[in-house]
Amino acid sequence: MIPEQRGLRRRYWLCSALLLGLLMFSQAAVLAQETESEVPAEAPNFLIYVFQASPTFFFLMLVISVYLVTLVFNNFTKLRLPKVVPQELVANIDAMLTEKRFKEAYEVVKADNSLFARALTAGVERLSHGFDRGMDALMTVAEDGRMEMEHRVSPVATIGAVAPMVGLLGTVLGMILAFQQIAQGGQPRPAELAKDIGLSLVTTLEGIVIAVPAIFFFSLFKNRVARLAFEVEQLGESYLWRFSRALEARGK
């Protein structure tokens, strides 16, 4: 074979190989791009998804939860035995009554603003009409204090009842939007349908997440209020009896 022909054939096969390689490379690039487009996007963070499902309901639930935390903190601070029945006050009264300094003990009780002091003051002021009248006055003030503490706790119960209803509102809204997608006819878009269903589930979750601790803390505070009111009544009765005995002894 003529050397020139051999050179031409070599060039032909070389160009063919290069063309085939280029074709295979371009086909591989197209397949890779298609594969990448078919790979699902990475799922967002759960909290981000909850926010994106419904920003309006998210902020509403956030406000409710912040209010709940504030109520829980305030009730933990105020519904304590040292606040309702100050131990220092009890110790001072006990010492004064033991030393028969009844007038000073009464002045100390009257100057204090705790529920125990207010109830005992009301009882002592009615002792001149008999112990029973004094006890009735003490119980009346103690019951008023109990109602005041219960009113302070009641917003926690309200949140526990309202939060699931707000979540249910979001659930109904999400289902309505989902059925609207189906009612439009044709093939519903899965992404839009999943978004509406996600709204239903997320708002329900948010309502339950807020309601469960609210119900728990309401039960806790309710029992604490009952216990504090019982302590005021029992301790107040014992010290009112001591004031009554002192008044009887002074009358004799």
Largest CA distance in the chain: 151
Pair (29, 52) in one structural domain: no
Pair (61, 161) in one structural domain: yes
Pair (18, 112) in one structural domain: no
So what's the pLDDT on residue 29? 41
Q: Which range of residues forms the domain containing residue 111?
A: 44-251
Token pair belonging to 160: 């526990």
Eight-state DSSP code of residue 1: -
Q: Which residues of the chain have pLDDT under 50?
A: 1-9, 11-39, 252
| Owner of token pair 């002192």 | 246
So what's the pLDDT on residue 30? 39
Pair (83, 11) in one structural domain: no
So what's the pLDDT on residue 249? 66
Pair (167, 87) in one structural domain: yes
Pair (109, 122) in one structural domain: yes
Please give the Cα distance from 66 to 150 (Å, whole number).
21
Q: How many domains does the chain have?
A: 2
pTM above 0.95, yes or no: no
Pair (184, 246) in one structural domain: yes
- CA-wise closest residue to 138 among 242, 232, 246, 245: 232
Pair (51, 87) in one structural domain: yes
Pair (81, 132) in one structural domain: yes
So what's the pLDDT on residue 224? 94
Please give the Cα distance from 252 to 241 (Å, whole number).
17
So what's the pLDDT on residue 226? 94
Identity (one letter) of the amino acid at 168? L
Pair (67, 177) in one structural domain: yes
Pair (111, 163) in one structural domain: yes
Please give the Cα distance from 231 to 221 (Å, whole number).
15
Pair (22, 134) in one structural domain: no
